[in-house]
Amino acid sequence: MKTIRGTDGRLLSDEQVELSDVEKIKNTKENEVNTKSDQVRQLQKEVDDMRGEVERIRRRTELKDLLKSYKLMWLSQRLKASEARKVTKKVFV
């Protein structure tokens, strides 16, 4: 094989070494792509898992804000009722 030459004058053994190197590089790149694809899938899964948690936190915050609003309305109504009782007592006293 060392003495066989192609039409371009290159040794067949040199071409085989070159092809082998290209194949190794190709396999390495495929492995890198597969590894990165696995990482992307894992990160996507983590993001999907976080979405549920974020939605739960968002709903909880909304409910807390709504509860604060209801408490303020309730206190306001109590204050108005208290003021109304004071005014009524003053009128009838």
- pLDDT tens-digit profile of 6-25? 677 788 888 888 899 999 99
Q: For residue range 21-78, what is the model confidence (pLDDT) as tens digits?
A: 999 999 999 999 999 999 999 999 999 999 999 999 999 999 999 999 999 999 999 9
Assign 87 a pLDDT band (cuts: 50, 70, 90).
confident
Residue 92 pLDDT: 64
Q: What is the DSSP string of 40-82?
A: HHHHHHHHHHHHHHHHHHHHHHHHHHHHHHHHHHHHHHHHHHH
Sorted by sequence, the CB contacts under 8 Å of residue 2 that are 6+ apart come out as 11, 13
Assign 85 a pLDDT band (cuts: 50, 70, 90).
confident
Q: Which amino acid is at 35?
A: T
Residue 2 pLDDT: 59
